[in-house]
Structure 1
Amino acid sequence: MVKKTSSPSSSVKSAAASNGSAVSHPKYCTLVSTPPRTFDADVSGFRAAMILLSDRKWVNGTKLRYYFFTGSDGSPASWKGDATQKNVVKEAFATWKKQGIGLEFEEVSNKEDAEIRIGFMRGDGAWSYVGRDIIDVAGSPNERTMNFGWSIANDIDTAIHEIGHTLGAPHEHQNPNAGIVWDEDAVYAALAAPPNNWSRETTFHNIIRKLPVNEVEGSTHDPNSVMHYPFGAGLIKEPAAFKNGIFPAGGLSAKDKEFVRKFYPPLAPADYTKLTVAKSAPLDIKPGEQKNFIFKPTVNRRYKIQTFGALDTVMVLFERTGGEEVYIAGDDDSGTNLNSKLHLRLIKGREYVVRVRLFYSSSEGMGSLMVI
């Protein structure tokens, strides 16, 4: 069983921000604790850092499908949410999409079709897997990838926060660039009390622990991020500006919007390159960026689609049918001495989309993609 280690209730955030009261322990969300990724000894620290910065992010252009457990689908009745709370989650998805990003979101009625599977089990906390962990770790259609453990009927920020985790965003208050020095005894005592009742391990994982520098995008701390917990007075020793607490403004901050637009910029037809058999297509992109390709086979046969060069990439193949993209296959070569490669039968006249995100390149501009 995975360990959940938890986003703040926006109703608490709003109250604290409006009346200046010291709220030391509102309800917080827990991240699911998964084993840290390790690398072979021949992978340099810088290369590993560049991979970790993007390895949980989705390839841009992906449609993420979400499902609400019903209690009549084989799931516990306690996982079912009412219409009001489900509408809040739908509005939260729309909030992220309104930033003009290339990702798409769609509610589905079959749990087997969903990457994001949502429950509303009271008392189980608010939590989510981060990014691609929802398929790489929590792959069973019978498992939740997100839960809301209290009523979010008037609490859209908690829903926005959890979806932020699903898009690959970590907790902002754990940003090592924040310079926060905790009064650790006070933090452990506050979180051990209701309403969170956390163990020391859970409090450490979600608050005290600093994120590795190589997992943080950007160099500055954003105390107004929707990914930031609110904290009341008496929990932070330094910086002095935070001794009386941190109360994020609510909603997406300017840096939240910058983050999601950087990794998932809007896509236009001009962003796609046509692939021709046996003709090399350059991968002239920087780490964290992505290139998109269209391929239309002229004969039915097995094709090899492969990257070339000293690259760490993730490559994903979709079939475009009726305006929809259906996932076919993918390969992630990051941290290895291999290249991303797909070898499968494609059908004449059909349209395929190849998306390649670059994690790291030892020589900028030296990579390419080819269909053979």
Structure 2
Amino acid sequence: MTAARYCSLTQAPAPAFAPGLAAERRAALAGGRRMWVNGTVLHYCFLDGEADGSVIPVPGTGQTRWVPWAGAEEQRDVVRECFREWQELGIGVRFTEVDDRSEAELRIGFQWGDGSWSAVGREALRCGAHDRTTNFGWDLTAPGERATALHQIGHLLGMLHEHQSPHAGLHWDDEAVYAELAGPPHHWSRDRAHHTVLRTLDPDEANGAVWDPQSIMQFAVPPGLVLEPEQYRGGVHPPGTLSPADKEFVLRWYPPPDPPRPSALVPFRSAPLGLGPGDQADFRIDPPETRDYTVGTFGDGDTVVVLFEERDGEPRYLAGRDDGGTPDNASIAARLVKGRRYYVRVRLYSAWGSGGTAVMCW
């Protein structure tokens, strides 16, 4: 049996879609609801303050102890290098390290023994301001463990586990999987093992239309856990690097930024979107006066709308709204300040009515 360590991805609540939602709308939402809008700058920080940690039980004593989330500099360096590797693909999402957690959408801890896990894509925004969005639970400098950091960043970009793809066609020996993961170093329950390994994703959730056994999101599987296909009875052995399909996935969702400046969104003047499914439109707002504004969409479409404020030359996330799967339109209320610049990014999941869609600031 192997001592391989697996990502213990947390289980996110299933989206609550309206009853009777058309299949094409559900499919578009399943594939896109976890993804960031392109052009987002994701700020990350390493948690190391005195209050950054967890109270955990001491087995067999009835007592607890405090475990800090701080990580050694050599551990942080591995994570920094892996952020750079994803960034250097030329994707339209950027990563910037900050010291202030209040400025960070991504907050990284190193609690040994708590497993390695991450929020998936925009789920990170639902984590509390003092909570981790990512944890590394073992030594990233050990041989082969750099892949753990690449894997967790893949989750942060919206990728799911590749071995759970419906296109994999893997026939597991379920009881062998449960037994393997019930022992050290995981000690997982059957529910956790099922959620993280055996559960099959919906086709619209999968990272790609075919299974990629070389993906950084594919677990290394030891012999004896897969019954079929026969060639994988000896295990699945991904190289621990970004595969061509991994790169294609992120570049499809986050293409390199388009050099032209975003169109101006003038108060009380609607701007037609003219988007196809998965497309995005970007706008800038230069407020003529300081006051409370509302930015919102109109029309029969499922959209996500995100508002950013430009600070020190880069967009900072202010607020976002997602109307996917509802009869409503997304709107954001915010106080905009004259002399500052703001950006509005709108991505369309799908248009489900006969009319067009538009965005307006008022």
User: Is TM (by shorter chain) over 0.5?
Assistant: yes
2:167 counterpart SS class:
helix
Of the three residues 135, 148, 155, the one matched with 2:136 is 148
The 1:345/1:26 distance shift into structure 2, 3 A limit, reads closer
C-alpha separation between the residues in 2 aligned to 1:365 and 1:239?
Answer: 48
Q: Does 1:27 align with 2:5?
A: yes
Q: Find the residue that maps to 1:327 and give its secondary structure.
A: strand
Q: Specify the code of the residue in structure 1 equivalent to 2:264.
A: K
Q: Scaled by the length of structure 2, what TM-score is found? A: 0.90
For the residues of structure 2 that align with 1:43 and 1:151, how far apart are their CA atoms?
Answer: 45
Residue of structure 1 in register with 2:60 after alignment: none
Equivalent of 1:86 in 76, 95, 104: 76
Shift of 1:105: 1.2
**Equivalents in 2 of 1:304, 1:183: separation in Å?**
54
Aligned to 2:61: none
2:343 corresponds in structure 1 to 353
The reply to whether residue 68 of structure 1 matches residue 46 of structure 2 is: yes
Distance 1:364 1:139, change over 3 A: farther
Deviations 1:101-151 (A, max 9, x none): 111212222222222111111111111111111122x1232x222111111
**Are the equivalent residues in 1 in contact too, given 2:52–2:68 (CA < 8 A)?**
no
- The alpha-carbon deviation at position 231 of structure 1 amounts to 0.9
Aligned to 2:204, what secondary structure does the other structure show?
helix
One-letter code aligned to 1:306:
G
1:341 to 328, 331, 338: 331
**Aligned-pair CA distance for 1:226:** 0.2
Pairing partner for 2:188 from 192, 198, 203: 198
Q: Distance in 2 between matches of 1:254 and 1:199?
A: 34
Q: Secondary structure at the match of 1:105?
A: strand
Q: 263, 269, 272: which one pairs with 1:273?
A: 263
- 1:233/1:288 Cα in 2 relative to 1: closer, same or farther (>3 Å)? same
The residue number in structure 2 matching 1:20 is: none
| Deviations, residues 270-315 of structure 1 (Å, cap 9, x unaligned) | 2622223444323222222211111223344443322121111111
Q: Indicate the larger mover: 193-202 or 151-160.
A: 193-202
The aligned residue for residue 223 of structure 1 is 213
The DSSP-based 3-state class of the residue aligned with 1:132 is: helix
Residues 1:213 and 2:191 are matched in the alignment: no
Map 1:131-280 → 2, pairs under 5 A: 131-136=121-126, 138-141=127-130, 143-154=131-142, 155-270=145-260, 272-280=262-270
Task: Give 3-state SS (helix, strand or coil) of 1:316's partner.
Answer: strand
SS in 1 for 2:304: strand
The structure 1 residue matched to 2:91, chosen from 86, 89, 101, is: 101
Deviation at 1:172, TM superposition (A): 0.4
| Count of matched residue pairs | 348
- How big is the shift at 1:39? 1.3
With the length of structure 1 as denominator, give the TM-score of the two structures.
0.88
Alpha-carbon distance in structure 2 between the residues aligned to 1:328 and 1:85: 30
Q: Residue 320 of structure 1 is aligned with which of 290, 310, 319?
A: 310
The amino acid across from 1:147 in the alignment is N
Cα offsets for 1:241-283 (capped at 9, x unmatched) = 2122111122110111111111111213326222234443232
User: Percent same amino acid at aligned positions?
Assistant: 44
Distance in 2 between residues matched to 1:167 and 1:57, nearest whole Å:
7
8 Å contact from structure 1 (residues 284, 364) kept in 2: no
Residues 295/164 of structure 1: CA separation in 2 closer, same or farther (3 Å cut):
same
Paired amino acid for 1:305: V
Query: Could you tell me which residue of structure 1 aligns to residue 118 of structure 2?
Result: 128
Structure 2 unaligned spans of 5+ = 54-65
Q: Write the distance in 1 (CA, Å) between the matches of 2:311 and 2:97.
A: 19
CA-CA distance at 1:158 after TM superposition: 0.2
Gap runs ≥5 in structure 1: 1-22
CA contact (8 A) 2:159 2:207 kept: no
Paired with 2:17 and 2:361, the residues of 1 have a C-alpha distance of 29
The structural deviation recorded for 1:152 is 0.7
